[in-house]
Structure formats: C-alpha cells, structure tokens
Amino acid sequence: MTIIEKSNIGATPFQQLLGHHPEAMETWVRLGDVLERDQSLTSTLKEQVRRTLAQSNGCAYCKAKGKPDSSVFDAKTSVAVGFAEAYIKLNGDVPSSISNVLKESFTDQEISELFAFICFTTAQQHFGALMKLEPEASFVRKEKADE
C-alpha cells in the first residue's frame, strides 16, 4: 500500500501518485515519453536497461514488469545493460575504463541519451520505492501465470 492516497489524475498508479501535482505529473509523463521512444537508441534497448535498473532500485511496481530478457540482447544492448549494472553497483562512481567501453560502442549522442534515460528511470524507480508503490494484484497474477 502506498504511503499516500492516489489522486484521480493520471492513467497509471505511478501517475496518480504524481497527480497531486498535475503540472509536474504532465511534464514528467512528457519527458518519459520522449526518453522511452526510439531515437538514437531503440526502445527495446532502453527497456532492457530499465529492467536492469529496476532489479536494484527498490520499486516493486517497476520490478514486477520483469527481469532483463537476454534473448533480445544485441551487442549494444549488452554494453548498455552492463553499464547500467556497473552504475548501480558503483553508486554512479563509474571508472573511466568502463566509460571507455561505452565510447567504443556508442556515439556521443547515444551516450547522452543513455545517461539521460538511466538518470530519469532511476528517479522514477526511486519515487516508486519511496511511495511504496506495489504492482496491482491483477498484474502480479498475470505475470505468475505467464511464467
């Protein structure tokens, strides 16, 4: 159970918690839409990074959407997920040796997009964790049935 009641504003439980401040919620959703869609990096790659971050960022709602799916990994996804894992384990203090691996696989534009996505996603997941946001019971039952 969340630590505050959900508002009537927003399409998802996460948005309803932010809906107590409609302007922030609307801006947050717009930024999420921009960062999550295909751009320099694919939405598939970013979803695997999101799933990786969710395993450590404490948001049960985010974690319930699944673990990374290595069957959809390509070379870039593997490097991005590896970087996300290092970022988590090292609390953001990533050594240049790891950053250099990114530079071998990604353009400056892709690295900027990846870092923005990682930071925004981490903020979302921390918000969900702070709010004690849990997956809805129907979602949990569906996920268990799919296993």
Rounded mean pLDDT, 48-77: 96
Residues contacting 60, CB < 8 A, separation 6+? 128, 129, 133, 134, 135
Q: Is 65 part of any domain?
A: yes
Tens of pLDDT, residue by residue over 34-44, are 999 999 999 99
Tens of pLDDT, residue by residue over 106-135, are 999 999 999 999 999 999 999 999 999 999
Q: Is 78 part of any domain?
A: yes
Write down the pTM of the prediction: 0.90
pLDDT above 90 covers what percent of the chain?
Answer: 90
Q: Is 113 part of any domain?
A: yes
Residues spanned by the domain of 73: 13-142
| 98-104: long-range pairs with CB below 8 Å, 24+ | none
CATH of the domain at 77: 1.20.1290.10
Ramachandran class of 92: left when φ > 0, alpha when ψ lies in -120 to 50, beta otherwise: left
Q: Is 76 part of any domain?
A: yes
Q: CA of 26: how far to CAs of 3, 11, 14, 15, 23, in Å?
A: 21, 11, 12, 9, 5
Q: Is 8 part of any domain?
A: no
pLDDT above 70 covers what percent of the chain?
Answer: 93
| Domain count across the chain | 1
DSSP type of residue 30: H
